[in-house]
Amino acid sequence: MTVEELAIPDFSLEPFTPSTPQHVLDEFVLSLRPFLSRVVAVFNGKGGQGKTSVASHMAGLLAEGEAAKAEEGQDAGRVLLLEADAQGNTLHDLGIKGHPDNDDGKSLAIALQFGELPKIIRTVRPHLDVIPSGKQLEQIPFQMVTMQSKHGQAANLSLAVLLAKLAREYRWIVIDCPPVTKEPQLLALCAARWVLSPVSTGDISSIDGLGGVSHRFDETAHLNPDLELLGAVLFGFAHRYYTNPKTKEKRPVGLWVQARERIQKLLTEAESDAPVFESVIRDAETVAVNCRDRGQLSYEVAEAADGIKWWQKKRGASGMVLPTERAEEVGRDYEDLVVEVVERVLQVEMEEAAAA
């Protein structure tokens, strides 16, 4: 049964207090989870890992995929992007910082505290909606103190409740998690089904940020038994290869190879079957700056002058491509990543359906 076919109960935290028995809370958690099966949190326990860029591109490309389905007359859904960080950089990435419905996260902060639905900026791209974020989210840690005194540990489910109420509108929900602030991290991980963890080349010790992911998993396990690491993605690594002069065979070399081996070892030691995705988001700071200045994603900057979309070009459509920096290459990296992400989610869903 799909989310669209489920009848959404009147989810509310009002019945819960600090003395609510655990088994009652467990039952509530189980009632929430079917509505949150396509919620992906982009998270690493260290800053500067590319989380916002990955989240924005993933949401944008998922929406492009749904738009392509709609054009072909297939069943198409919508995508929702939510940034749980006061920086609000997803709004810069999508060029909607100055949108009249951007309230700097005020309605989201209110919704989390009082159970209301937040303001949503509709159709920032075809099939893509965004819940605005910003400095108003700085009050979340203080709000959580009040909420926990009233609702106990159930307060950490406030974002899960909010997204469950919206679930029938969206095929995918992407959450950009803050790197440091604990409270919004917990809210996001209590709501998510999946965690995608970018790891950057800026500091090889950033791999240790995966330890922060593991720690948050432990903290939220009793409120989200379904949370699972979707995989790790290498972000900001130079694509370097060695070509054998005799055989002309190419093989990857350099920091990205070392990082992949180290991350895979950590995942194996943690007995996780999550992959290090084959796709690597290349180091292209100039592209990133230009994209944010334009309020466009990399594949949008690189789009053909005659309007040919990335998914049409991949099918062989012709057109003159704008020679804008390395934006097309970076866009292709993100496209490849999203394909891998969707394939892994669908594979797990099929396995779980077969086992049910």
Q: What is the pLDDT of residues 29-44, one digit of tens each?
A: 999 999 999 999 999 8
The pLDDT of residue 323: 43
Residue 54, domain member (yes or no): yes
* Cα–Cα dist 335/113, whole Å: 36
Residue 9, domain member (yes or no): no
Residue 340, domain member (yes or no): no
Residue 320, domain member (yes or no): no
Residue 204 has pLDDT above 60, yes or no: no
Query: Looking at the 3D structure of the chain, how many domains does it have?
Result: 1
The pLDDT of residue 243: 81
How many CB atoms sit inside 10 A of residue 153's CB? 16
Residue 19, domain member (yes or no): no
Residue 344, domain member (yes or no): no
- Bridge partners for 304 per DSSP: 321
Q: What is the span of the domain harbouring residue 247? A: 30-296
pTM over cut 0.85: yes
- Cβ–Cβ under 8 Å, residues 123 and 83: no
Do strands 228-237 and 276-282 pair parallel, antiparallel, or not at all (unpaired)? parallel
CATH number at residue 45: 3.40.50.300
Q: Which amino acid is at 2?
A: T
Residue 335, domain member (yes or no): no
Do strands 250-252 and 241-243 pair parallel, antiparallel, or not at all (unpaired)? antiparallel
DSSP string, 268-304: HHTT----EEEEEEE--HHHHHHHHHHT--HHHHT-B
| Residue found by looking up tokens 């989390």 in the block | 112
Q: Which amino acid is at 91?
A: L
133-171 per-position pLDDT tens digit = 999 999 999 999 999 999 999 999 999 999 999 999 999
* Cα–Cα dist 208/311, whole Å: 35
Residue 3, domain member (yes or no): no
Helix (H) or strand (E) holding 92: helix 89-93
Residue 317 has pLDDT above 50, yes or no: no
Query: Angle formed by the axes of helices 158-166 and 22-32, to 10°?
Result: 30
Residue with the larger pLDDT of the pair 192 and 299:
192
The pLDDT of residue 250: 79
Rounded (5°) CA angle 331-333-334? 65
